[in-house]
Chain A
Amino acid sequence: MFRYIVKRILMMIVILWCAGVVIFTLTYLVPGDVASLMLGKEATVEVINQKRTVLGLDQPYLVQLGRYMYDTFIRLDFGDSWIFSSSVMAELAVRLPRTLLIGLSAMVLNVTIGTLLGIFAGTHEGKWQDSLVMIIAMVFISAPDFFVALLLILLFSLKLGWLPAYGIESMACYILPIISCALGGIAVNARQARSSMLEVIRADFVTTARAKGQKEKVITRKHMLPNAMMPIITGVGGGLAMVVAGSPVIESVFSIPGVGAYMLAGVNQHDYPVVRACVIFFALFCSVAILIMDLCYAFLDPRIKAQYSKGKKVK
């Protein structure tokens, strides 16, 4: 098991390293000269060239790439923003908690409420409760999350005046972003939970438990739920990655100065150190989330655990 974890972490580092090359190349290939874009139309050629030298843009691709990779992955320094000349790392540290607060809370809601709804629908298969939950789930899967966010603002901020529509002045500001992030995921999880519940309800081992004389409630809790949860747990890592990766849109709707908004601003202003740092950060976050969830899964499911520790057992 330990060897497996080390192997996964090493692989993750290599993948992130490659991802760094890809991101650098992508931003390098963006048409247009960054220096002249930054300085505006009035800037003279000399000033522009000077700026290019300062930013290191006059160097060949490989030198730039090498410097970037060295700074980012060896010195662990994301450099300074081209626009604000402030440290990207420092800025990320300020913004990160906001993005994570929204992402993690949304994820907790996704899993708990989604699973409960899915189990409810699954145990009422074919009845009106099932249809109702599934139709609502389908509606929320179909509506873009930023539109849901706008509707929530319209209702709770503008019409009812209960919650603030933007900013981060108080914790109340986070309620609407979290809900609009969570609704789509709740719907996805509800559908997943329902279908795995249906599979489990028909499973033979449930009939075995019934034949033992076990109470229906205990069967649901002890036999159905753990088995139905397995596919949901597999999806948690990916789901968290999705929520966090969607943060540029939601943060722009609610004007939240998080990592997503930072990246979006970087994209719009051609501030590439910011963009690269944000994307690498998101990639790292997603990889770690998926790794942790994989390990949880292996820990909970003895079949998977056996697979991982096979190498050891043969000895």
Chain B
Amino acid sequence: MSKTRKVHKQSQTLEFFQRMTKAFSAKLGIILLALIVLVCLAGPFFSPYEVNGVDLANMYSGPSSQHLLGCDSMGRDLFTRLMYGGRYSLALGICASLFGAAVGVIIGSIGGYFGGMTETVIMRLMDVWSALPGTMLCILVSSAMGSGFFATVLALTVGGVPGTVRMIRGQILSERSREYIEAAQSINCSNLSIMFKHLLPNVIQPIIVTMTMGIGSCIIMAASLSYIGLGIQPPNPEWGAMLSEGRAYIRTYPHLILVPGIIIALAVFAINLMGDGVRDALDPKLRD
């Protein structure tokens, strides 16, 4: 019995990946993202330059065989900084998206599952929460919490929670009325086990899609925060912070903004392509 179940589960995961990689764009997204992640993780070990290694002889130098993407205003190697910055940016995006989804799922499933007073209170709170525009909340929280990594993750998370909560609650509401939940209740499953064993697996798909897409928008938001002087601060090489530093030299050395800007767009592009792929692969309507 357990053996057949395992086989079935495996084939489901396999099927998911097969469906996901079927589309060219999703494949492109995955390969591009894997490449970026790999270079950011492994690259710094091979780079001859320090991330904050100042080299006044190479100030503002353009791309060359020694400095692949050139150097910034202090002669620091841009490519090296880009790889270090990628670690920040990607980690911020992934953590914020995961954290946001987790908070949203917990609040949303409590509201959606228990219903009644609990739900009303939670949903009214969400109304208030979402009345404050996400960007504003992000700026406020970031300025209140300071510029640390976790403070920034929190700031990035805070704006998206009401949306996730609403989505989860809606999903749960439609699932809650299904008969299999009644069946589980009739054999005396506890609330918690119904919530995690029965409901969550059935509402997880839209969460996965939102989360994947969320990584991209969190990276953009993080970059925006650094750009306006909040969040991760220079000299830490977060991509948005690098852009912000390059802003002063836009007239004379545009490569200082082009390089980090293009890499942000490229990474988010790859993530979004992958997100589209995930959505299509999970959409039961598109299954053959």
A contacts, CB < 8 Å to B: 11, 15-16, 18-19, 22-23, 26-27, 29-31, 138-139, 141-147, 150-151, 153-154, 158, 241-242, 244-246, 248-249, 252-253, 263-264, 267-268, 275, 278-279, 282-283, 286-287
Residue contact B131 to A283, C-beta cutoff 8 Å: yes
Residue contact B261 to A151, C-beta cutoff 8 Å: yes
Residues of chain B contacted by A142 (CB below 8 angstroms): 216, 265-266, 268-269, 271-272
Residue contact B132 to A23, C-beta cutoff 8 Å: yes
Residue of A whose beta carbon sits closest to that of B24: A131
Some 15 contacts from A to B, beta carbons below 8 A apart, are A23-B140, A26-B141, A27-B140, A29-B144, A30-B144, A139-B265, A142-B216, A144-B227, A144-B265, A150-B257, A154-B257, A246-B135, A253-B227, A263-B136, A282-B136
Please judge, given known A-B contacts A249-B227, A264-B228, A267-B139, whether A150 and B132 are in contact too, CB under 8 Å. Answer: no
Residues of chain A contacted by B266 (CB below 8 angstroms): 142
Interface centre among B129, B133, B268 (most CB of A within 10 A): B133
Q: Which 3 A-B pairs have the closest CB atoms?
A: A245-B133, A142-B269, A147-B261
Residues of chain B contacted by A286 (CB below 8 angstroms): 131, 133
Given contacts A263-B136, A268-B229, A279-B136, 19 further A-B contacts (CB under 8 A): A18-B131, A22-B129, A23-B140, A27-B140, A29-B144, A138-B269, A142-B265, A142-B272, A143-B264, A144-B224, A144-B265, A146-B223, A146-B243, A154-B250, A246-B224, A252-B228, A279-B132, A283-B132, A286-B131
Q: At the interface, yes or no: B5 with Cβ under 8 Å from chain A?
A: no
Residue contact B257 to A147, C-beta cutoff 8 Å: yes
Residue contact B240 to A245, C-beta cutoff 8 Å: no
Q: How far is the CB of A110 from chain B (nearest CB, A)?
A: 17
Residue contact B228 to A147, C-beta cutoff 8 Å: no
Residues of chain A contacted by B273 (CB below 8 angstroms): 138
Q: How far is the CB of A198 from chain B (nearest CB, A)?
A: 12
Residues of chain B contacted by A264 (CB below 8 angstroms): 139, 228
Please judge, given known A-B contacts A141-B272, A146-B224, A154-B254, whether A267 and B143 are in contact too, CB under 8 Å. Answer: yes
Residue contact B136 to A19, C-beta cutoff 8 Å: no
Residue of A whose beta carbon sits closest to that of B213: A141
Interface centre among A11, A142, A150, A287 (most CB of B within 10 A): A142
Residues of chain B contacted by A279 (CB below 8 angstroms): 132, 136, 140
Q: At the interface, yes or no: B251 with Cβ under 8 Å from chain A?
A: yes
Residues of chain B contacted by A153 (CB below 8 angstroms): 250
| Alpha-carbon distance between A31 and B230 when the two chains are bound, in angstroms | 15
| Alpha-carbon distance between A283 and B135 when the two chains are bound, in angstroms | 11
Residues 238 to 288 of chain B near chain A (Cβ within 8 Å): 240, 243, 247, 250-251, 254, 257-258, 261, 264-266, 268-269, 271-273
Residue contact B250 to A147, C-beta cutoff 8 Å: no
Residues of chain A contacted by B223 (CB below 8 angstroms): 144, 146-147
Residue contact B132 to A22, C-beta cutoff 8 Å: yes
Residues 196 to 232 of chain B near chain A (Cβ within 8 Å): 216, 220, 223-224, 227-230
Q: At the interface, yes or no: B182 with Cβ under 8 Å from chain A?
A: no
Q: At the interface, yes or no: B183 with Cβ under 8 Å from chain A?
A: no
Q: At the interface, yes or no: B127 with Cβ under 8 Å from chain A?
A: yes
| Alpha-carbon distance between A29 and B144 when the two chains are bound, in angstroms | 7
Q: At the interface, yes or no: B134 with Cβ under 8 Å from chain A?
A: yes
Residue contact B228 to A287, C-beta cutoff 8 Å: no
| Alpha-carbon distance between A144 and B257 when the two chains are bound, in angstroms | 12
Residues of chain B contacted by A22 (CB below 8 angstroms): 128-129, 132
Residues of chain B contacted by A141 (CB below 8 angstroms): 268, 272
Residue contact B133 to A282, C-beta cutoff 8 Å: yes
Q: How far is the CB of A68 from chain B (nearest CB, A)?
A: 15
Residues of chain A contacted by B258 (CB below 8 angstroms): 151
| Alpha-carbon distance between A153 and B110 when the two chains are bound, in angstroms | 48
| Alpha-carbon distance between A165 and B228 when the two chains are bound, in angstroms | 17
Residue contact A19 to B128, C-beta cutoff 8 Å: yes
Residues of chain B contacted by A242 (CB below 8 angstroms): 133, 135
Please judge, given known A-B contacts A142-B268, A144-B264, whether A245 and B140 are in contact too, CB under 8 Å. Answer: no
Residues of chain A contacted by B143 (CB below 8 angstroms): 30, 267-268
Residue contact B261 to A143, C-beta cutoff 8 Å: yes
Residue contact B220 to A144, C-beta cutoff 8 Å: yes
Please judge, given known A-B contacts A30-B144, A245-B134, whether A158 and B268 are in contact too, CB under 8 Å. Answer: no
Residues of chain B contacted by A158 (CB below 8 angstroms): 250-251, 254
Residue of B whose beta carbon sits closest to that of A18: B128
Residues 40 to 74 of chain B near chain A (Cβ within 8 Å): none
| Alpha-carbon distance between A153 and B247 when the two chains are bound, in angstroms | 11
